[in-house]
Amino acid sequence: MSDDFILKAESRDALGKGASRRLRRLEGKVPAIVYGGKKKPTSIMVSQKELTKHLESEAFFSHIIELNIDGKSENVILKDLQRHPARGFTQHADFQRVSKTTKLHTSVPIHFLNEENCKGVKLQGGKIVHNMVQLEITCLPADLPEYIELDLTDLELGDSLHISDLTLPKGVESVALSHGEDHDQPVASVNKPRGMASDDAEDEAESEGDEGEEEK
């Protein structure tokens, strides 16, 4: 985890949709909530400008954040984010408290490497499909990765790479695989583009052409 994120927050008493709209429009604040651990959920507000700046970094979505509420710090992760459907600004944020000694359940992004050099694309004319872009994991906060990498270099046309093909850092476990091998979902595959004839179809067409020549 290369970045350190510190986010200032204030507790808030005014709740409801009307109060939230006033916060966003008049004060430039985003309503949010902090929950988890042994403490009760706390309603807070954070600077829209400061939060937007942090959201520009992908690591912010899968990193331990130091949330400073009224001068008191708590370690949290960003658990959910609601954006305006048309304008895209943040309407509400959910933060979950984390403990150094308790495993957390979250999702981290998957980074796909060497897509342009993938055998199934470069040599066989296929198209890469991302079946998953995030992976659900469990780990201690200290082991939380910013992302998981998957190298697509050797992936061939018609083949797929699954969760079990991912190299997870020490201390990190896949939630899906913890439920058994039948939950080993595909992560990426190389498919034939639309209009691309299969080998069997091409062979059949060639065979029919040869037979037609013989009949003549």
Q: Which of 193, 188, 69, 170 shows the shortest CA–CA distance to 124?
A: 193
Residues of the chain with CATH 2.40.240.10: 5-98
Contacts for 162 with CB less than 8 Å, ≥ 6 apart: 184, 185, 186, 187
Which tokens go with 7?
């986010």
Question: Could you tell me which residues come within 8 angstroms of residue 38 by beta carbon, excluding any fewer than 6 positions away?
Answer: none
Say if domain 5-98 classifies as CATH 3.40.50.850.
no
**Range(s) for CATH 2.170.120.20 in the chain?**
105-199
- Tokens 């966003």 correspond to 24
pLDDT score of 2 more than 50: no
Confidence class for position 202, pLDDT limits 50, 70, 90: low
Summarize pLDDT for 124-176 with one digit per residue, the tens. 999 999 999 999 999 999 899 999 999 999 999 999 999 999 999 999 999 99
Of residues 184 and 84, more confidence is placed in 184
Calculate the alpha carbon distances from 47 to 53, 54, 193 in Å.
Answer: 10, 11, 46
What global pTM score does this model have? 0.76
- Mean pLDDT (the chain) is 87
DSSP class of 210 = H
Q: Which fold has domain 105-199?
A: RNA Polymerase Alpha Subunit; Chain A, domain 2 (2.170.120)
12-58 residue pLDDT tens: 876 767 667 777 776 788 999 999 988 899 999 999 999 999 999 98
DSSP-derived 3-state class of residue 41: coil
